[in-house]
């Protein structure tokens, strides 16, 4: 299988006068997407992810991008002319999904129990896989040498069970002080400069969260993700510096901000790629005025679903990782187990879609790499929606006979259907699973617009929209690399928080001073003075079970009416603005009839039909037509169904409308 090609995109989705190129990279489990914004021009590339060495696919993609920009491979010129390089990766996320990581040991005390931690695990096997029997409990009512001896005995016991990374989490009043004492003892007894010294994370240093179970799980996730992220990101940063890059590698995070490797908390890289797509979706909603934008990012294995409602990306103040609540806010994106490479089979006389996927190896049967399972990609090929000559930019030849054989064996014969009828039934089941996931995630309203992106998002977007009751679909011109493009809307930012020592003006002033000091130090590490950053304060208060957040104006003052017994915390977010991408397209201008120079025999609603094919790259701004038809560009295909029309604007964005305006 050859790597996908690089494709330049025309003007309209970049920057009018950027001080340098913006490089944005979304490292997925199967493919790594790279989007280079150079003024008003955008270049995109896809390369196969190399999980054994992620820097290999990173630099291969950058080299391919340089060939597209300069006409020859010139990586150094590309990096020397770059203003910023933002990067998101699923490396840590995939490690968690596959349960491949360090053997964690957990030292707890102050009333926190292993049973309480186990009860928070809603995936049944997460606790067993990440922690298991590597838990030690110490009596924190003792002090001095007794506490020191207990801590040392616990660490030795955890090491004996095979733990190679530890989390210390103490509950109850004074927990921070107890953890600090334990830290002092362990640093003296097991200094980090010794070979074999165990890395230890202290939960209260990671998160200011009075929920002991939630804070401990946050520490567990961070400790599990940290080694893989640290090895790769520092390695990539080092190699980029060897190439004389003029700006540091910025790691894009799930909170929507980016930061240097040394300033990045591992848990915040969890699901950061989908958050990039949501940053792009927010930019679409803001630019085109979509009040309720529901997004589906369909890849090979999953469909990532998010929502921009009233210009705000839906997020949760206590984000979830595999169903377990954490101490940090995370973007509310769910991943449904359905994608272009999902295995489709028959069980008890019914078609079942996913969640298992054939991935990139062996891939769908039509790839000819040894796969024999039926997938939606095979069905789309058999239905005539895909062109074997142009699929994936022409770099990947696909085999319709292999697709037919897989569908016949796994679906058609078990159901007693023809191959074509089986493919149509597969589409129905695939669409229904996606639609059900969308409706479960969000309420569909008359204002809902469906954003379809990712390699598989546009395929049958009209039918998905029909299934959920939406009458409008937006397909970004950069749909195939939209998560990478979306990263370019992020700034460098960090949040800091601390509890108020007292619920009065003096307590607030003390917290403001402490957080400002922390922010000044951290942002200095990002190359910015604090007075050049945008600062915002948030007051958080609650009773342990519930919490509320109140934005404060600067200089912050305490609002009136706060509960006298509430636990108060102050959060400070410091943001360093960096160059952004932009969206410049417009719909509703001068209309032109879209130009088609070919037709394709395609199976629609169980019957064969000859549909006009419209190449997106060949259309003028304002090009319109009605379905049924096929829209096709280098990296995605879309079937426009009967009753739907499309308009392509000056940025290459596509608006699909049911009974929409056409010329």
Consecutive 10-residue runs of the chain (663 residues): their mean pLDDT? 40 52 87 89 85 85 93 93 89 75 95 95 87 95 92 94 95 92 91 81 91 95 90 87 86 93 90 90 96 94 92 88 88 88 94 86 86 94 84 69 96 96 96 97 96 94 97 95 94 91 91 95 94 94 72 89 82 93 90 93 86 94 95 91 95 90 44
CA 423 to chain centre: 31
Q: What pLDDT score does 13 carry?
A: 54
* Domain housing 134: 99-229
CA dihedral 371, 375, 379, 380 (to 10 degrees): -100
Domain-terminating residue out of 576, 603, 638: 576
Strand partners, 552: 537
107 shares a domain with 151? yes
pTM of structure: 0.86
Domain contains 287:
no
Residue 220, in any domain of the structure: yes
**CA pair distance 528, 511, nearest whole angstrom:** 22
Is the residue at 607 inside a domain? no
Closest CA to 580 of 11, 5, 24, 4: 24
Q: Is 380 inside any structural domain?
A: yes
Pairing, β 31-38 against β 21-27 = antiparallel
378's tokens: 């095979």
Burial of 367 (0-12, 13-18, 19+ CB in 10 A): buried
CB proximity list for 149: less than 8 A, separation 6 or greater: none
What is the pLDDT, as a whole number, of residue 315?
87
- Tokens, residue 161: 């069970």
CA 258 to CA 611: how far, in whole Å? 45
Would you state the structure tokens that stand for residue 465, as one six-digit string?
């929209």
Query: Does 118 map to a domain?
Result: yes
Q: Report helix, strand or coil for 629.
A: strand
Cβ neighbourhood burial of 443 (10 Å; 0-12, 13-18, 19+): exposed
pLDDT given for residue 544 in this prediction: 54
Tell me, yes or no, whether 123 and 54 share the same domain: no
pLDDT at 638: 95
Does residue 217 sit in the same domain as residue 109?
Answer: yes
128 and 176 belong to one structural domain: yes
Q: What are phi and psi of 297, to 5 degrees?
A: -110, 100
> Which pLDDT value is given to residue 387?
79
Does residue 499 lie in a domain region?
yes
pLDDT of residue 19: 67
Q: pLDDT at position 208, please?
A: 82
Among 519, 544, 576, which residue terminates a domain?
Answer: 576
224 plus 263 within the same structural domain: no
Asked whether residue 564 is assigned to any structural domain, the reply reads yes
Number of domains comprising the chain: 4
Q: Are 156 and 92 contained in the same domain?
A: no
The answer to whether residue 591 is domain-embedded is: no
Indicate if 77 and 130 belong to the same structural domain: no
C-beta neighbour count of 368 within 10 angstroms? 17
Q: Are residues 38 and 119 in the same domain?
A: no
Rounded Cα–Cα distance for residues 334 and 636 (Å): 23
Work out whether strand 104-109 and strand 165-170 pair parallel, antiparallel, or are unpaired.
parallel
334-336 vs 303-309, strand pairing mode:
antiparallel
Q: Please tell me the distance from the alpha carbon of residue 91 to that of residue 460, in angstroms, as a whole number.
A: 30
Residue 30 is encoded by which pair of tokens? 């199967």
β-partners of residue 307 are 294
65 lies in the same domain as 42: yes
Residues 49 and 70 in one domain: yes
Q: Which two tokens stand for residue 116?
A: 């309480």
Single residue among 539, 555, 576 that ends a domain in this structure: 576
Contact between residue 21 and residue 83 where contact means Cβ atoms under 8 Å apart: yes
CA distance 152 to 155: 5
* Two structure tokens written together for 270: 């969890």
> Do 111 and 180 share a domain, yes or no?
yes
Question: Which residues have CB under 8 Å from 631's CB, separation 6+?
Answer: 458, 614, 616, 637, 638, 639, 640, 646, 654
CB atoms < 10 A from the CB of 582, how many?
18
| Shared-domain flag, residues 369 and 412 | yes
Going from the C-alpha of 337 to that of each of 96, 122, 310, 372, the distances in angstroms are: 16, 18, 28, 20
CATH no. for residue 79? 3.30.420.40
- For residue 323 the two structure tokens come to 């169903």
C-alpha–C-alpha distance, residues 217 and 203, integer Å: 9
């Amino acid at each position: 299988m050859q790597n996908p090609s690089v494709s330049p995109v025309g003007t309209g989705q970049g920057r009018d006068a950027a001080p340098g190129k913006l490089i944005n990279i979304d490292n997925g489990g199967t493919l790594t997407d790279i989007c280079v914004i150079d003024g008003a021009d955008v270049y995109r590339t896809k390369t196969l992810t190399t999980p054994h060495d992620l820097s290999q696919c990173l630099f291969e993609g950058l080299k391919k991008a340089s060939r597209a920009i300069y006409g020859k491979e010139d990586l150094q010129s590309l990096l020397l002319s770059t203003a910023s390089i933002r990067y998101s990766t699923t490396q840590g996320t995939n490690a968690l999904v596959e349960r491949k990581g360090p053997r964690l040991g957990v030292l707890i005390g102050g009333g926190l129990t292993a049973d309480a931690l186990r009860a928070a695990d809603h995936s049944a096997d997460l606790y067993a896989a990440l922690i298991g029997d590597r838990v030690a409990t110490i009596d924190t009512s003792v002090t001095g040498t007794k506490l020191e001896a207990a801590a040392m005995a616990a660490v030795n016991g955890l090491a004996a069970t095979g733990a190679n990374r530890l989390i210390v989490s103490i509950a109850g009043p004074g927990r921070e002080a107890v953890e600090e004492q334990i830290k002092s003892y362990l640093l003296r007894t097991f200094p980090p400069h010794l070979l074999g010294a165990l890395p230890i994370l202290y939960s209260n240093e990671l998160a200011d969260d009075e929920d002991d179970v939630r804070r401990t799980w946050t520490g567990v996730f961070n400790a599990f993700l940290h080694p893989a992220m640290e090895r790769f990101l520092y390695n990539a940063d080092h190699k980029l510096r060897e190439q004389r890059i003029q700006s540091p590698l910025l790691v894009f995070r799930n909170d929507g901000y980016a930061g240097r490797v040394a300033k990045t908390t591992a848990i915040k890289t969890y699901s950061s790629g989908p958050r990039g797509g949501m940053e792009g979706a927010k930019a679409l909603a803001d630019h085109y005025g979509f009040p309720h934008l529901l997004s589906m990012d369909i890849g090979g294995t999953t469909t990532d679903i998010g929502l921009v409602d009233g210009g705000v990306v839906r997020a949760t103040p206590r984000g979830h990782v595999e169903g377990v609540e954490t101490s940090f806010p995370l973007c509310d994106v769910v991943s449904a187990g359905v994608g272009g490479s999902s295995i489709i089979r028959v069980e008890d006389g019914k078609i079942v879609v996913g969640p298992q996927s054939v991935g990139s190896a062996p891939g769908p049967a039509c790839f000819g790499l040894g796969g024999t399972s039926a997938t939606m990609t095979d069905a789309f090929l058999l239905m005539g929606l895909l062109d074997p000559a142009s699929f994936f930019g022409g770099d990947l030849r696909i085999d319709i006979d292999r697709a037919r054989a897989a569908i016949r064996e796994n679906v058609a014969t078990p159901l007693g259907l023809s191959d074509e009828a089986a493919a149509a039934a597969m589409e129905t089941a695939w669409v229904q699973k996606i639609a059900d996931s969308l409706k479960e995630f969000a309420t569909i309203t008359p204002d809902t617009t469906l954003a379809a992106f990712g390699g598989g998002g546009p395929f049958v977007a009209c039918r998905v929209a029909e299934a959920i009751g939406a009458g409008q679909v937006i397909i970004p011109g950069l749909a195939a690399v939209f998560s990478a493009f979306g990263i370019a809307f992020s700034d460098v930012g960090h949040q800091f928080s601390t509890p108020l020592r007292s619920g009065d003006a003096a307590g607030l002033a003390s917290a403001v001073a402490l957080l400002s000091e922390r922010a000044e130090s951290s942002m200095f590490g990002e190359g910015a003075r604090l007075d050049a950053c945008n600062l915002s304060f948030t007051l958080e208060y609650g009773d342990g079970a519930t919490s509320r957040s109140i934005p404060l104006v600067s200089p912050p003052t305490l609002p009136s009416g706060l509960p006298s017994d509430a636990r108060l915390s102050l959060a400070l977010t410091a943001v360093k603005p960096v160059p952004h991408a932009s969206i410049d397209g417009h719909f509703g201008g001068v209309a032109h009839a879209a130009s088609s120079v070919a037709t394709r025999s395609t199976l629609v609603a169980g019957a064969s039909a000859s549909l006009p094919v419209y190449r997106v790259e060949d259309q003028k701004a304002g090009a319109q037509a009605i379905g049924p038809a096929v829209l096709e560009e280098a990296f995605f295909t879309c079937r426009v169904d009967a009753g739907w029309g499309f308009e392509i604007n000056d940025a290459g964005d596509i608006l699909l409308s049911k009974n929409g305006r056409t010329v």
